[in-house]
Every structure is written in C-alpha cells, then in structure tokens.
Structure 1
Amino acid sequence: MHAWPASEVPALPGQGRDLRIHDTATGGLVILDPGPVARIYVCGITPYDATHIGHAATYNAFDLVQRVWLDTKRQVHYVQNVTDVDDPLLERAQRDGIDWAALAEQETALFREDMTALRMLPPRQYIGAVESIPGIVPLVERLRDMGAAYELEGDVYFSVESDPHFGKVSGLDAAAMRLLSAERGGDPDRPGKKNPLDPMLWMAAREGEPSWDGGSLGRGRPGWHIECVAIALDHLGMGFDIQGGGSDLAFPHHEMGASHAQALTGEFPMAKAYVHAGMVALDGEKMSKSKGNLVFVSKLRRDGVDPAAIRLALLSHHYRADWEWTDQVLQDAVTRLGRWRAAVSRPDGPPAEALVDEIREALANDLDAPAALTAVDRWTAQQEQHGGTDEGAPGVVSRAVDALLGVAL
C-alpha cells in the first residue's frame, strides 16, 4: 500500500530543540533523545468513512512531532497502518450493499487526498492489515506455542496475565478496563475466557465474512491489536520512540499491543513514550462515526475552505486537549491565515530570528502549537502597526511557519 506525496519542508537556519512530550504511561513529560533516526508508529484509520476533523487533529499532532525531529537534523522513520478489514468496515459495506474491499480502497484514497491537502508528512511505510497477515500468523502461533495465548471455539485469545507489565500504558484498574473493553471492541463477557480482558488475536472464519489461511490457526482474520504489533516490530523493532494515536486508543489498543510485543520479545517497553491526542467534539458530543456527528475534511475542501485554514484551526488547540469544532473556530482560522499571508507578502518586516526561536521552543515543549501561533500573531501585529526594515524577515517567517507548523503562506 502506498502513502501520499510529501510536501517540501523548507530548511531553516540553526537547529531545533529536543522534544519534551507527555507520556501517558508515566503521566508526565519525558525528554526524547532519539538517535540519528527517530522512530514513530501512529495508528491509522479503519477506512469505512471519510476523514473527519477528529482524525485530522490526531494526525496533525504527530505531523508536528515529525517536523520537530526534522528540525533537529534527524531522519524520521514514521510508520502508519490502515485497518482495512474489521467489523465496522464489514458492517458499513453490508449496509450500503458494496464490496468491503472496494469500500476500504475508496476511503483510503480519500484519506490520502485529505492528508496531502493538509500537508501532513507521509509515513515511510503505510501498511494495510490485509497485506500484513503473512507476518501476523507466525506471531499468533508463537504466542500460542509459548503459552501466552489459548484457543476458544476456534478463536485464539491472548492471555493478559502472560505480560507482567500489563496495565502500565493506561494505568487503569481492572474495573475501568472491563468497561472500556466492552465499549471499544472487546468481548469481556464471553464465556470460557481465562480473563475477561483477554483480547482476540485470531478470529476463526465466520460465514459470509472474509478469511485468510492462518496455517495451524485455521482460516480466519487477525484481531485488531496484533495487526499493529506485527507492523511495528517488522519495521521499527522494540523500544521505538513514540507510539501515537487518539486518547481513545490508550486502552485497549495500545495497552494490548504493548503486552503482545512484550510477551513476544521479553523486552520492555515496546515504546519509549505513549502519546495521545485529545478528542474533538461537535454539538457537545465527541465526534465519532458511530454517532454520525462528523465534520469531514473533504467536504470542507469541496466547500472552498482553504486547507491551510483547516490546519490553523487544528493548531489553535493543544494536541492533548479535548475541544469542540464550531463555525467560529474555523472563521478565526480563516482570519488568522489572511493576516499572516498579508504580513509575509510585504517587502520587509520586523526581525524574525527571535520568532523562529519562539516557535521552536513552543513546539519542543509538548507540542504547544497555540503558543507558537500566538508568537506569529505578535510578529504579524508588529508588521501591521510598525512595519520593519529587515528585507529578509517575511521570507524567514514564511519558511518557518511552513517547516515547523505545516502551513503554507
């Protein structure tokens, strides 16, 4: 599976700072000091509907991570998956009377278009669950053979008790985990499981659903969590720098994935930091496909909204915050974009070196994009009120906003 084209990242004078970022597992800031190649895995979409603003906010956060690392003169090895076979996708395809694979391909293509328009830097590997099955099956077999997994009526489950570190990603107690498991794709009430929290690794073939050869596992399809583990271990190995996604993935997805990987390898932790973006609401409720209260990036673009304004709307909220999308949020972003573009179009302006430093410091401090925007606003206000004498300043500001914030002026 291919990703989307990369937009050029302008080179800036000097060098950025190492990233300090909030780690869900420890509950505090960690200073990440990757080697020459920073490694990040971000969980991708289940492609049964178009990219909504909640998706865009999450991928915007991890795009900023890439840009901070690139500004430190590191390379970035970014991997993202596509869960192109799963219950929600199959249910939507059946509801609409279309082939599930065609639906997945259609929505993945639209996601690529949205990411390109928003200037999100693409992953080095962009990999679907279906193409990963040959690598998933041996991992499930290994977990079973080492006693970390068991069979139940043809399905194979992971035993959470096989990982002594289970629970350290989310920090939740068993009661909270059980509630979230039931809400987020688990089956804690299924009779016969060793532990209600045990997640499925391999689902035996069901009538009318797609299935693949699972070797000694029989025909079936992979569980949700093992998919990401197989892809991450194959391309990044253990101990990569950031495991990222929305805050709703901390449990069960990232918790279970970490335990799968740790049981398989005997190493801890799977990732140095677990980083989670907040949820976006609409009309007082979390934006989600199940509720249908969605604002689609593609529709905004069709309506003539500049993708740079959409991105500025996302950047105006801290990535970890839960916030609400409104018409006013978008209008404020459109206004800000117009002011910034007018400012950098002038032949000279106030010196920009201090501004670049402010943007770098804000982003290095747990991706504080709102602080970075405020710094650019101040420079813009100076330009509007007093002008300036530095002929190179508008160009420096334009390149810095592009390179560090992903907004083309």
Structure 2
Amino acid sequence: MTNLQERASLLDNADALSHKIEEFSLPKDTIYLDGNSLGPLTKNAQLRAQEVVQQQWGQSLIASWNSHDWISLPSIVGNKIAQLVGASANSVVCCDSISVNLFKILSAAVQLQKTEKRRLILSQNDNFPTDLYMAQGLSQLLGTNNCELLSVASNEIESTLEAKGNDISIMMLSHVNFKNGAIFDIPKLTQLAHSKGVLVVWDLAHSAGILPLDLSAWNVDFAVGCTYKYLNGGPGAPAFIYAAPRLLADLQQPLSGWMGHKSPFAFDHDYDKNTGIEQFLSGTPSIISMSVLDAALDVFNKVSMQAIRNKSLALNEFFQTCIKELIPQSSLSLACSLDHQTRGSQISFKHEHAYAICQALISHNVIADFRAPNILRLGFSPLFLSFKNAYDAATVLQDIIESKKFLHTEFQIKHKVT
C-alpha cells in the first residue's frame, strides 16, 4: 500500500459524512466526478419517482393536487432550498429554469431601477453563457437606450462599479465560475453595488448545496440557481428564485401566468399578482420532477453546509496532492486557482486534448466532463465521494496521461453533449 493509499484510508476512516454515501444509488465500479454538472440519483428520489407516478398520479389522479398537496410543491421545495442558501422562510420558490428565472428577475429589476441614466447590466464576460444571453435578449426587447449588457473581466468588476456605478442598474454575477471554479465575494460585492445604488442578482448554480451561503445576512437582492447539480434533483429539475422580502411588494415580473396570480382558481379576467415570492410562478409546475427534487433534498437532513464545505476542501486538497505525486511532469496545467479555498468544489485542467482525456476517463468508469475549448473538469461532491475514490481516479488519470491513451481514435469522436 502506498503512502497515498494509506492517507486515503485514514481520511475515509475519519470522515464524518461517510454514512451519506449509502443514501445514493450509484452504479458499481464507477467513480462519479461530475456531480457539479448532474448530481446522481438518491435512493429517496428513486422511491419518490415510483410513488408519484404509480400511486399519486396512477391511483389518485387529479385529486393529488389536494390529497398529495401538489399545488404547494413550489413553496415546499423553495423553503427546503432556503435553508441551504441562508434565506428566510417564504423567500425562495422553485420553478422553471435558470434562464427563464433570470429573464423574470432582470425584467423586474430593470423596472425597479427605471431612470434615464441607469441602463447597464454589469456582468463578467466569462459568465455562463445563458446568463449573458438572457441579458442580451432583454436588451433587444427593451432597446439599448433602456437596457444594455456591459460584460467585463472578472477582476474588473469592482473597478467598473467604482467608475460607472451611476450608470449601472443591475450587477449579475455567477458566484462560482463554471469553468475555473473561482469564487466571488458575495457580501463584499453586494455591499459595494448597493453603495452605488445598484441591484444585485447572483447565480448560485455552482454554489447551492456545496458552499455555505447567507443570502439574508448578506443583503442580497435576487438569486437564481439550478437544482440538478449539487442538489441532486435530476436532469432538467426545476430551478429556484430568491427575492429579498423587502422588494416583493414593488416587483412586477413579465411572465404573469396564472400560478403567479393572487387567487389562481378564481379565474379572474385581469392579473392581480401574488404579494409573496409565489408571484414569480407562471405556468403549472412540473409535478413529477419537482416531487423527485423534494425527496432528493432530504439527503441534506442533519448535515451542515460547513461540514460539506470542509470535506469538499479536503477532497480537493487530497486529489491535488495525488496529481502532484503521481504525475509530477504532467502535460496537464491547472486552469483554476492553486488555492482550493478560493474555488468551488471542482478542479479544472487545461490540455489541448482535454476532450479526449475526458472520454478516456469515462471509458475507465471515471466520469468527468469537458468544457470548450480545452477544459477538463473534475467535480468533488462530498456526500457521495470517498478519498479512496479520489486516489483511484488520480491513478486512472495517471495511466491515461503517461500512456497517451487519449490519442486513440475512439476518444476523438465528439458527442452532442460534452
């Protein structure tokens, strides 16, 4: 047994979260390092999927809207997520996708900030593309005289706020960068934005369920997040919206569907918005996926976000150590901060054959992912990964790099989803 193997064994023996692995339904002989893109199935979620289809829908039919409280799921799930992101009760609702939710929030925020001068939406130019696309689409709809995207380098956000704060309406940033895992300082940037009269929108796609968050204490205005990554809600699971309670009374989101109405089943001719966070609902919620998400969130019961973060940091540090010792002269170059404290729960590498390396890893049942043009991402989800998993994955990567297996023709074939 090598020193690294011994260290992995010691770390696993001391792991206070090791029992959580049993709550997941994972394929045998697979090391899943892609929970940052799609979280795996929990056993609770698997049982709920069967129940909601076979019993609730299958047997109770339409009565389930009342007998199984389907109608309240967006709020029930929203309140579970609120506890994970440091938000007050009834300030989070589950619905739609991040893209749609961003459009709602940006539109409502622009209306709140409507002045001749404040027309810019400030973002980072390496933000996840859909965030930028939604801002661009809103700008096309409203005209650049009323709304225009200003994207700058991540390290220029503060200086841009200082220089152009009076022209900026909204600051829209991703808390954790999807490629390099870099973390923005939410309380610091939120305070700076507010000092300039700017509203803030945070995308928590890569931080909800993996980083300690305190949206209420940090005075955040709005946030969105997806639930199929670290929250393990399943492919295409509905996203969530957070809005500070102090803003709800004055908001008017544009997708005024019947579920956002104060009394949906009154079937009024004219729209009268719900005064709470439910005003962000639009159409009928997707009950099967939301019910499965509701069950998946139970994996966070009796676990603190700080404990999750502590194990995340330990896994990242240990994997980096493995790579340094096993592949000291590797052609892989780190594409994220060397300090694991300053990034989310992923390690990113640059390599001209990153896609092929990813495919070679998958062929050995080590599931990672690729982000164009040359990024190999390895995600470390603390609730279902062990330190032995990290060591074993590093040895597989070592073999692929040293043998240059990634050059095989089979690993060069590009799939639709990368």
TM over 0.5: no
